[in-house]
Amino acid sequence: MRVVLGALHRWAGLFIGVFLIISGLSGAIISWDHELDEWLNPELFHARSSGAARMPDELIRAVEASDDRIAVVSYPLKFEKGHNAMLIVGPRVDPKTGELFKLDYNQVYVDPVSLEIAGTRMWGKISLARTDILPFLYKLHYSMHIPAFGGIERWGYWFMGMIAIVWTIDCFVGLLLTMPRIRRHGSTSVAPQRGWWRRWQTAWRIKKGAGLYRLNLDMHRASGLWLWPLLLVIAFSSISLNLGDVVVRPLLSKVSILTPDPFDDKSPPLRKENLIPAQIGWQQAIDRASAHARAQGWTEQPASIFYGRLYGLYSLRFLPPDADHSPWGIPRMLFISGADGKIVGGRVPWEGTSADIFMQLQFPLHSGRIAGLAGRMLISVIGLVVAALSTTGIIIWARKKAARRAVHRASARKPALAAG
């Protein structure tokens, strides 16, 4: 059995190793994506003007007037003092061709006081330029930038979800391999009883004064044991984030009840050109969502709004008045029909069925935001550990393979020497 587990651990590690190195290192960086992005690109984030911010509809008009190929699909409803507003835009349909216009950007940074456009960029673009490096790393982390083909864009999500499944299984395989070997008495196998814990304790330690190979082995084994619960959480939450709709939600629905989610449960049209125009305006959607929130006793205020043109749905995100980010990484949200303005759903932290709360927890756990600043720091460390575990595992395999080759060459030389 141990031989089988060893083979599984070896080949699983070799399959996922390089991808986990990339994902671990990028994850350690993107824990601080907003701070690093602002530091690298002050011209995008820092406003030149001071004073009272304009109304959101003025920002929309200014941005859409700058390029008749674009339509604003998301914008903030509260502004960070001294900072530009970031609006997300999408392409309009070209009336001449019936196809979407080709754009080289999807983010627009605009001064909320002067309405001056500070810059644009394509989020997730494959580029190491200063303006693109943080979005590039973020998308690399969960999709490896695997391109769309066959009309499907989610190959990267699914591939990294498969990597996460293998990683989750390998977490258990690796744990079993650290256990003391089973003793054999005659024809039977008996688990060790006396001294079992003492023998396992060595797997948790790094031997002092050990050689380079033993040091590498101890680091691989001990760090994996000490951080095993956190590694398992990161691995499984990766499955939930990348394969939530196709694997996790269907499985959860077998054992619990998932509250219908308009965005998750509604399939978009296959053709991107089949956009659903909103019959009610931005302000109507904001007013109706705000009224509903007040009726529910929410103290949070609307912080941003998004219109899903493939779904015909508005989404409003609510935050406390003095907060720039969501507490625990889970914002309150309301979904409004773009056809008639009805409230068609929402997401409220810690409310719903056990399955709802389980799904709510996946991103806050994966990003560390559930524990605030300390959680983000921990996730950065875990990202480095994941990269180190994968690297040390590959080194262990390479050293063992080299040793086996050396033994094979030595065995092959013996008959030749005897014959000589």
Burial degree of 205 (CB within 10 A; 0-12, 13-18, 19+): exposed
In this structure, the number of other CB atoms found within 10 A of the CB of residue 369 comes to 20
Given pLDDT bands bounded at 50, 70 and 90, which one contains residue 266?
low
133: its two tokens: 């490096």
* Mean pLDDT across 340-346: 93
Min mean pLDDT across 64-68, 126-130, 416-420 is at: 416-420
Structure confidence at residue 411 (pLDDT): 78
Cα-based distances in Å from 380 to 27, 28, 30, 167, 228:
7, 4, 8, 18, 16
**In this structure, are residues 347 and 333 in contact, taking their beta carbons and an 8 Å threshold?**
yes
Structure confidence at residue 301 (pLDDT): 92
- CATH-assigned architecture of domain 260-351: Roll (3.10)
Q: Which residue has better confidence, 351 or 26?
A: 26
Tracing tokens 């216009």 back to the chain, one arrives at 101
For the segment 117-153, what is each residue's pLDDT rounded down to a tens digit? 999 999 999 999 999 999 999 999 999 999 988 878 8
Q: List, by residue range, all CATH 3.10.450 domains of the chain.
A: 260-351
Structure confidence at residue 265 (pLDDT): 65
For the segment 81-118, what is each residue's pLDDT rounded down to a tens digit? 899 999 999 999 999 998 999 999 999 999 999 999 99
Structure confidence at residue 334 (pLDDT): 96
Structure confidence at residue 408 (pLDDT): 81
Structure confidence at residue 93 (pLDDT): 92
170: its two tokens: 């390998």
Cα-based distances in Å from 49 to 34, 60, 380, 394:
21, 18, 35, 53
Structure confidence at residue 272 (pLDDT): 66
| pLDDT over 70 at 193, yes or no | no
The most confident of the ranges 3-7, 141-145, 257-261, 328-332 is: 141-145
C-alpha of 223 from chain center = 23
**From its phi and psi, is residue 20 left (phi > 0), alpha (psi between -120 and 50) or beta?**
alpha
The percentage of the chain sitting over the pLDDT mark of 70, rounded to a whole number, equals: 91
**In this structure, are residues 76 and 304 in contact, taking their beta carbons and an 8 Å threshold?**
yes
Structure confidence at residue 9 (pLDDT): 96
For the segment 347-401, what is each residue's pLDDT rounded down to a tens digit? 898 899 999 999 999 999 999 999 999 999 999 999 999 999 999 999 999 998 9
| pLDDT over 60 at 185, yes or no | no
Given pLDDT bands bounded at 50, 70 and 90, which one contains residue 273?
low
The model scores a pTM over 0.85: yes
**Cα gap 92→85, rounded to integer Å:** 21
Q: How far apart are the first and last CA of the chain?
A: 42
Helices and strands in the chain, H and E counts: 14, 10
**Radius of gyration, CA atoms only, the chain:** 27
Which residue in 376, 367, 371, 347 sits closest to 359, CA to CA?
347
Structure confidence at residue 63 (pLDDT): 97
67: its two tokens: 């390029």
Which residue in 56, 53, 54 sits closest to 285, CA to CA?
56
Structure confidence at residue 209 (pLDDT): 83
Mean pLDDT across the chain? 90
| pLDDT over 70 at 303, yes or no | yes
Structure confidence at residue 65 (pLDDT): 96
**In this structure, are residues 177 and 2 in contact, taking their beta carbons and an 8 Å threshold?**
yes
Min mean pLDDT across 50-59, 67-76, 327-336, 407-416 is at: 407-416
Q: Which residue has better confidence, 407 or 417?
A: 407
